[in-house]
Amino acid sequence: MSLHYLPPVKPSAIALGTVFTQLGHTAVLAPLFGDRYERAKKTNASQNFLHSKEAKQGAVLFGTTLLGSSVQTYAMAALITTTGTLSYKGAAYLGTLVFFSTSLGATIGGLIGFGEPSTRPVDITEVVAGATSSLLDTVGLAMVLNWWGVRTIESF
């Protein structure tokens, strides 16, 4: 496989987008990290928290979301570069298209309660939080990357 098919993207744009996306993921995952910490404190009172199973799972979760944020940022920056998007309006349209193609089905399914037979009622706040997080990860990321600039000097 040759890497010359992948469009060049500024490393600073990838770093900025990764931080932006990671902050969004952290805001969504903060209750999960807090829950893991509390469970580890209760079950491992004699052990150090850093050596607990929950801490290791939390580190893996954080690492995978960091890697996923980097890949997602590169993909969005590559789309912006490849399509030649220069305006905020174009970036918003591109981000919205990515949102529709990746998250709209899950959002609508969550709103109407489609999927697994539910033993609990649909929690609208969870669906709205997920949709907001997805919009931030797609439209927001596209806008931030467009503002920062994603093209390297070689790509002009």
In a domain, 37, yes or no: yes
In a domain, 131, yes or no: yes
In a domain, 101, yes or no: yes
How confident is the model over 82-89, as a mean pLDDT? 93
Whether residue 45 has pLDDT greater than 70: no
In a domain, 80, yes or no: yes
- pTM for the complete prediction? 0.78
Instruction: Give the model's pLDDT for residue 81.
Output: 93
Q: Looking at per-residue confidence, does 124 or 33 come out higher?
A: 124
Q: Name, in order, each residue with C-beta under 8 angstroms of 98's C-beta and a sequence gap of 6 or more.
A: 76, 79, 138, 142
- How many independent structural domains does the chain possess? 1
In a domain, 4, yes or no: no
In a domain, 1, yes or no: no
In a domain, 2, yes or no: no
How confident is the model over 63-72, as a mean pLDDT? 90
Q: Which domain does 85 fall in, by range?
A: 9-155
Least confidently predicted of 13-22, 25-34, 81-90, 138-147: 25-34
Q: Looking at per-residue confidence, does 76 or 122 come out higher?
A: 76
Instruction: Give the model's pLDDT for residue 98.
Output: 96
Whether residue 150 has pLDDT greater than 80: yes
Instruction: State the Rg of the chain over Cα.
Output: 19
